[in-house]
């Protein structure tokens, strides 16, 4: 039997199996089709960017590995993203960082970035049917030591405030251009390697900087603030902790970004969705995979991800939740990393969409907790993968592991020929 035939056959059986539980697989597939994932541009080049300032790295994050073939310039990065898009179904978004501007050979400092530097991105994205999201970049710069927006030196603070304000204007321009709000994420690494006796002071400075940054209202962009547990070499104190941004977000009605790698390993990020939905306007997610720390491993279909996507679907507030990815693994084929991460996130979403929720909720309402647990367990083994394969087939993209050889081919023809710089 040809693969296509067997996928179709298996899907028909799965469809019936789900129908018996009151689930319409076609509805689930249509909903999945419409969920855009914001793909992080920075997996393609290990968070280097295209500034001509000499990226200093640092800033609490670190890509590890030196697998050959990283994108060295804008054209290569775009080509890689185009390749990724041939291997995933659905219409997605691309999340850019300020350091990925089209600066040509010019030296443009962070307090000089403007929409013009992203014009070619906007046009390219439009051509590819992608919407853009944006991020200000605090790290990898001579003025970003341990502190940026929370720096006690007003001149350094002002520099970063200016950068971030400009990033909001760039986001606004993108949003207007694409006729869809650009989601702008603000993450700064500010913290201390060792004990500080000024926890309050830096947080107060950060609050003031944020108030200044957000003073101007924009209509075509949305602000997100991303917390973190700790950064590399900044282990003792993080100015923008979760309490800080949760408080700020609830008070000022800003979107809080939940990066799944930014919490204590035993903390359940899925559990946070419902609380944020109650007190903040929307939610931004940075789906990542921490291993022992915020290691930004490639996202895989594990229990954490499945719980997260189930909570998203169960919340009934998909329209208020933006799903972005945030991982950067430089130790394996980078295109492969993207494809695994995107497809795994979609698989997890599909599992959530196929959950027999009505029945589970009925059990719960009746106090039938054995029945609830039993069905939750059984649901794990329902033939969701047959629905997934059908989703890929229907979208004319590689089914199952078929994408492996396509990535190998792209590696042979394109990425392997790139010489490190
Ligand atoms: C860092 C944050 C942040 C970055 C990207 C590159 O810990 O997760 O989101 O990963 O902005
Ligand atoms: Zn993140």
382: number of Cβ within 10 Å: 18
Domains annotated for the chain, with CATH where assigned, are 36-356 (3.20.20.150)
Answer yes or no: 286 catalytic: yes
Give yes or no for a contact between 348 and 323, defined as CB atoms under 8 angstroms apart: no
Ligand nearest to the CA of 325: 2
Answer yes or no: 46 catalytic: no
| 3-state secondary structure (DSSP) of residue 229 | coil
Answer yes or no: 262 catalytic: yes
User: Is the per-residue pLDDT at 218 higher than 70?
Assistant: yes
Q: Ligand 1, atom 1: nearest CA belongs to which residue?
A: 61
Cα(326) to centroid of ligand 1, in Å? 7
Cα(259) to centroid of ligand 2, in Å? 5
The mean per-residue pLDDT over the stretch 387-402 comes to 98
Which among 152, 244, 234, 245 has a CA at the least distance from the CA of 189? 234
How far apart are alpha carbons 300 and 294 in whole angstroms? 15
User: Is the per-residue pLDDT at 367 higher than 90?
Assistant: yes
Confidence band of 68 (pLDDT split at 50, 70, 90)? very high
The reported pLDDT for the residue numbered 163 is 98
Q: Is 45 in the pocket of ligand 1 (CB under 6 A)?
A: no
How far apart are alpha carbons 86 and 397 in whole angstroms? 7
The reported pLDDT for the residue numbered 390 is 98
298: DSSP letter: P
| 3-state secondary structure (DSSP) of residue 297 | strand
The reported pLDDT for the residue numbered 48 is 95
The mean per-residue pLDDT over the stretch 14-38 comes to 98
The mean per-residue pLDDT over the stretch 373-388 comes to 98
User: Is the per-residue pLDDT at 55 higher than 80?
Assistant: no
Average pLDDT, the chain: 97
**Intra-chain end-to-end CA distance of the chain, in Å:** 48
The reported pLDDT for the residue numbered 421 is 54
The reported pLDDT for the residue numbered 142 is 94
Model pLDDT for residues 223-237, shown as the tens digit of each residue: 999 999 999 999 999
The neighbourhood of ligand 2, an ion, using CB within 5 A, equals 259, 286, 326
How far apart are alpha carbons 158 and 150 in whole angstroms? 10
How far apart are alpha carbons 129 and 152 in whole angstroms? 43
Closest atom of ligand 1 to CA, residue 226: 9
Set 141, 286, 322, 347: catalytic member: 286
Confidence band of 303 (pLDDT split at 50, 70, 90)? very high
Chain centre distance of CA 226: 11
Cα(261) to centroid of ligand 1, in Å? 10
137: number of Cβ within 10 Å: 27
| 3-state secondary structure (DSSP) of residue 117 | helix
Closest atom of ligand 1 to CA, residue 288: 8
Which among 69, 52, 59, 55 has a CA at the least distance from the CA of 112? 52
The reported pLDDT for the residue numbered 269 is 98
% of the chain with per-residue pLDDT over 90 = 97
Q: Ligand 1, atom 7: nearest CA belongs to which residue?
A: 61
Tokens of 366: 């009746």
pTM confidence score: 0.98
How far apart are alpha carbons 120 and 102 in whole angstroms? 7
Model pLDDT for residues 85-128, shown as the tens digit of each residue: 999 999 999 999 999 999 999 999 999 999 999 999 999 999 99
Tokens of 328: 């950067």
Answer yes or no: 153 catalytic: no
% of the chain with per-residue pLDDT over 70 = 100
Give yes or no for a contact between 296 and 329, defined as CB atoms under 8 angstroms apart: yes
User: Is the per-residue pLDDT at 420 higher than 90?
Assistant: no
Model pLDDT for residues 149-186, shown as the tens digit of each residue: 999 999 999 999 999 999 999 999 999 999 999 999 99
The mean per-residue pLDDT over the stretch 381-410 comes to 98
Q: Is 277 in the pocket of ligand 1 (CB under 6 A)?
A: no
Quickly tell me which residue has 């013009």 as its tokens. Answer: 116
Set 207, 296, 311, 329: catalytic member: 296
């Amino acid at each position: 039997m040809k693969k296509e035939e067997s996928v179709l056959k298996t899907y028909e059986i799965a469809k019936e199996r789900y129908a018996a539980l009151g689930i319409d697989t076609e509805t689930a597939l249509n909903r999945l089709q419409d969920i855009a994932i914001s793909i992080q541009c920075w997996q393609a080049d290990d968070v280097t960017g295209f500034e001509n300032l000499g990226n200093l790295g640092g800033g609490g994050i670190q890509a590890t590995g030196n697998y050959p073939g990283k994108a060295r310039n804008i054209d290569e990065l775009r080509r890689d993203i185009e390749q990724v898009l041939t291997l995933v179904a659905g219409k997605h978004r691309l999340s850019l960082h300020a350091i990925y501007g089209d600066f040509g050979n010019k030296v443009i400092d962070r307090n000089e970035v403007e929409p013009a530097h992203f014009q070619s991105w906007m046009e390219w994205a439009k051509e590819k049917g992608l919407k853009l999201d944006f991020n200000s970049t605090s790290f990898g710069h001579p003025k970003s030591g341990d502190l940026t927006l929370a720096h006690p030196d007003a001149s350094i603070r002002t520099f970063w405030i200016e950068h971030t304000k400009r990033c909001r204007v760039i986001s606004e321009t993108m949003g207007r251009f694409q006729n869809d709000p650009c989601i702008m994420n603000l993450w700064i690494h500010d913290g201390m390697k060792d004990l500080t006796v000024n926890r309050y002071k830096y947080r107060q400075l950060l609050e003031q900087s944020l108030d200044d940054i957000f003073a101007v209202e924009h209509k075509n962009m949305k602000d997100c603030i991303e917390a973190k547990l700790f950064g590399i070499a900044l282990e003792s104190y993080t100015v923008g902790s979760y309490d800080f941004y949760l408080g700020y977000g609830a008070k000022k009605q800003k979107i809080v970004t939940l990066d799944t790698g930014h919490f204590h390993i035993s903390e359940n990020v899925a559990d946070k969705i419902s609380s944020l939905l109650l007190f903040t306007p929307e939610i931004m997610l940075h789906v990542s995979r921490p291993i022992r720390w915020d290691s930004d491993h490639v996202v895989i279909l594990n229990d954490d991800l499945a719980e997260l996507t189930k909570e998203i679907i169960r919340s009934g507030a998909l329209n208020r939740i933006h799903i972005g990815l945030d991982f950067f693994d430089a130790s394996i084929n980078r295109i492969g990393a993207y494809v695994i991460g995107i497809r795994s996130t979609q698989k997890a979403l599909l599992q959530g969409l196929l959950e027999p929720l009505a029945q589970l909720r009925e059990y719960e309402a009746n106090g039938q907790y054995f029945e609830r647990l039993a069905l939750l367990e059984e649901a794990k083994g329902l033939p969701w993968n047959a629905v997934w394969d059908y989703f890929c087939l229907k979208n004319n993209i590689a089914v199952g592991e078929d994408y492996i050889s396509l990535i190998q081919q792209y590696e042979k023809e394109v990425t392997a020929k790139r010489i490190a710089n």
